[in-house]
Chain A
Amino acid sequence: MKYLLLIYADEQAYEAMSEEERHEMYAAYDELMKDLAARGQALAGDELAPTSTATTVQVRNGERMVTDGPFAETKEQLGGYFLIDVADLDAAIDIAARIPSVHAGSIEVRPLVDG
């Protein structure tokens, strides 16, 4: 079975962390990633840029709606994901607008942290 583990955390708490605390946290992440990779259990894992970089895409009656910010409704649940590599946000939005669920649901576009 494949599983997607979704990481929820408080961005403000992250912002408030000291350099040292962050270093510690990333070291722990590295350690976990290495361990999982050694066991052949990790397929992918990445850090997302903060929600301030998020864009939400919807298509309703054929009309594309692009809004600033993360997806905030609670009526819909996370149902899947695409990890894509394209030139810029416009290209990402174009693909988001082609995902079938965009017509009834919403697609949140979040960049990964570089490097």
Chain B
Amino acid sequence: MTTVAEVVDRAYRDDTGRAVATLIRVTRDFDLAEEAWQEACEQALRMWPQRGVPRDPTAWLFTAARNRAIDRLRRERVGREKTAAAMQIAELEAMGDDMHDIPDDRLRLLFTCCHPSLALDARVALTLRTVAGLTTREIARAFLVPEPTLGQRLTRAKRKIRDAGIPYRVPPREALPERIDGVRAVVYLVFNEGYEATEGELIRGDLCAEAIRLARLLDHLIPDEPESRGLLALLLLQHARRAARTDAAGDLVTLEDQDRSRWDQDLIDEGLAVVDASTGDGPYQLQAAIAACHDRAPRPEDTDWPRIASLYDELERLRPSPVVALNRAAAVAMADGPDAGLRLLEPLASDLDRYHHFHAARADLLRRAGRGAEASDAYDRALSLVANDTERRYLERRRAALVI
């Protein structure tokens, strides 16, 4: 039996983005839209236990939310605002009950929330709040910031949208490629925060699942964008390994040591299908192809390292960065031996000196090259920089296992 609370929860998860997006389009007011929707859900929680769950819960909730919005426009708009409010009320009243008869406004909401003139952390918070329908508390917890701080971040972002005149629309064609890339960057950042949290425990699966939901939404709203497909595949192929990435104690298990039977084959199949149908060679597609090489290998020794090294080579040409160069060096080390990898690491030392992954990768190659004492020093350096508890324990274990 599903309870009333479960039905409302479900509608909240599935329909918030769409309902709020339309209410914002009409009223141009993020707070009013969010609160009207929220109050409709609260009303349902009060009324449905007695009256029963309506046949179409979403239609009921959207109608209730429209009515709440109309009430507030009538009450709160004064003076010069009254004329605009009258037109907004008329538009809300003219809408049918079925939200799905109204064009989907989520794309403009997504572009507005990911506008480059908002601070990156504000884009992330606002997207999760309004498009994905997470509560302020959930987002605060996921990013380990106090709830009032996160609330302020949201308030400031909404105020900037209003006061700076950020338009609520899908950007025109000529600006679209750059702006879609901005949306993808926000989605990827949400995923990465879940995949490798900067502090505390390593994996926050909820954030990864939200990022995948957003990537699916973007792919649905603007179909056949090769890079959006690439992003979705990349997230699926990485998320597929989550159960095997930590052991019973919550400690990090490297790709090499993971129990591959615990990988999620459904996600892998879906991700591989996207990669195999891929038509372009943008950065997300290249990264997805790299993840695919790992996910395809039944055993670590089956991994196609030369292919991974050449994909990183392409990625580095497209998006030169010391971190990509580091990954390429690690792949080359697997293909051609630790000395080849160490040679590629040397020129990165100055750029990546404060990056614990650099020292951890270098330590591992030194270990494999039989240079235990140097490896130990490199682990010390990595440990002095790492902030994540799980990774710290992992590095300590690796250092302790060195043969010097």
In the complex, which of the residues B116, B120, B165 contacts A88, with contact meaning CB atoms closer than 8 Å? B165
Query: Nearest Cβ distance between residue B239 and chain A, in whole angstroms?
Result: 30
Check B178 against A64 for contact (C-beta < 8 Å): yes
Report the Cα distance A109→B117, complex, angstroms.
10
Report the Cα distance A49→B164, complex, angstroms.
8
Determine the residue in chain B with the shortest Cβ distance to A91. Answer: B167
Query: On chain B, which size bracket covers the interface?
Result: 10 to 19
Q: Which of A12-20, A21-29, A65-73 contacts B (4 or more CB under 8 A)?
A: A65-73
Chain A residue numbers with a CB within 8 Å of B163 are 49, 52-53, 111
In the complex, which of the residues B117, B118, B120, B156 contacts A93, with contact meaning CB atoms closer than 8 Å? B117
Most A CB contacts (10 A, CB to CB) among B160, B166, B175, B178 go to: B160
Chain B residue numbers with a CB within 8 Å of A53 are 159-160, 163-164
Chain B residue numbers with a CB within 8 Å of A32 are none
Determine the residue in chain A with the shortest Cβ distance to B121. Answer: A68
Q: Contact flags (1/0) for A74-115 with B, using CB distance below 8 Å?
A: 000000000000011110110000000000000001010000
Q: Contacts A52-B159, A52-B160, A90-B171: A69 and B119 contacting too (C-beta < 8 A)?
A: yes
Check A52 against B156 for contact (C-beta < 8 Å): yes
Chain B residue numbers with a CB within 8 Å of A92 are 165
Check B117 against A68 for contact (C-beta < 8 Å): yes
Q: Does B272 contact A (CB under 8 A)?
A: no
* A interface majority secondary structure: mixed
Determine the residue in chain A with the shortest Cβ distance to B172. Answer: A90
Query: Nearest Cβ distance between residue A24 and chain B, in whole angstroms?
Result: 24
Chain A residue numbers with a CB within 8 Å of B166 are 88-90
Check A88 against B160 for contact (C-beta < 8 Å): no
Determine the residue in chain B with the shortest Cβ distance to A113. Answer: B163
Determine the residue in chain B with the shortest Cβ distance to A50. Answer: B163
Report the Cα distance A73→B120, complex, angstroms.
20
Determine the residue in chain A with the shortest Cβ distance to B168. Answer: A88
Check A111 against B117 for contact (C-beta < 8 Å): no
Chain B residue numbers with a CB within 8 Å of A67 are 116-117
Q: Does B21 contact A (CB under 8 A)?
A: no
Check A90 against B175 for contact (C-beta < 8 Å): yes
Check B167 against A88 for contact (C-beta < 8 Å): yes
Q: Which of B263-291 contact A (CB under 8 A)?
A: none
Report the Cα distance A93→B164, complex, angstroms.
11
Chain B residue numbers with a CB within 8 Å of A68 are 117-120, 122, 160
Report the Cα distance A25→B115, complex, angstroms.
35
Determine the residue in chain A with the shortest Cβ distance to B119. Answer: A68
Q: Which of B133-186 contact A (CB under 8 A)?
A: 156, 159-160, 163-167, 171, 175, 178
Report the Cα distance A66→B171, complex, angstroms.
15
Determine the residue in chain A with the shortest Cβ distance to B174. Answer: A94
Q: Contacts A64-B178, A68-B117: A89 and B171 contacting too (C-beta < 8 A)?
A: no
Check B164 against A111 for contact (C-beta < 8 Å): yes
Determine the residue in chain A with the shortest Cβ distance to B175. Answer: A90
Determine the residue in chain A with the shortest Cβ distance to B116. Answer: A66
Check A89 against B116 for contact (C-beta < 8 Å): no
Query: Nearest Cβ distance between residue A53 and chain B, in whole angstroms?
Result: 4
Report the Cα distance A64→B116, complex, angstroms.
11
Report the Cα distance A62→B165, complex, angstroms.
25
In the complex, which of the residues A52, A66, A89 contacts B165, with contact meaning CB atoms closer than 8 Å? A89
Query: Nearest Cβ distance between residue B210 and chain A, in whole angstroms?
Result: 23
Q: Which residues of A contact B (CB under 8 A)?
A: 49, 52-55, 64, 66-69, 87-90, 92-93, 109, 111
Top 3 closest A-B pairs, CB basis? A55-B117, A66-B116, A88-B167
Q: Which residues of B contact A (CB under 8 A)?
A: 115-120, 122, 156, 159-160, 163-167, 171, 175, 178
Interchain Cβ contacts under 8 Å between A and B, 8 examples: A53-B164, A66-B117, A68-B117, A68-B122, A87-B165, A88-B165, A89-B115, A90-B166
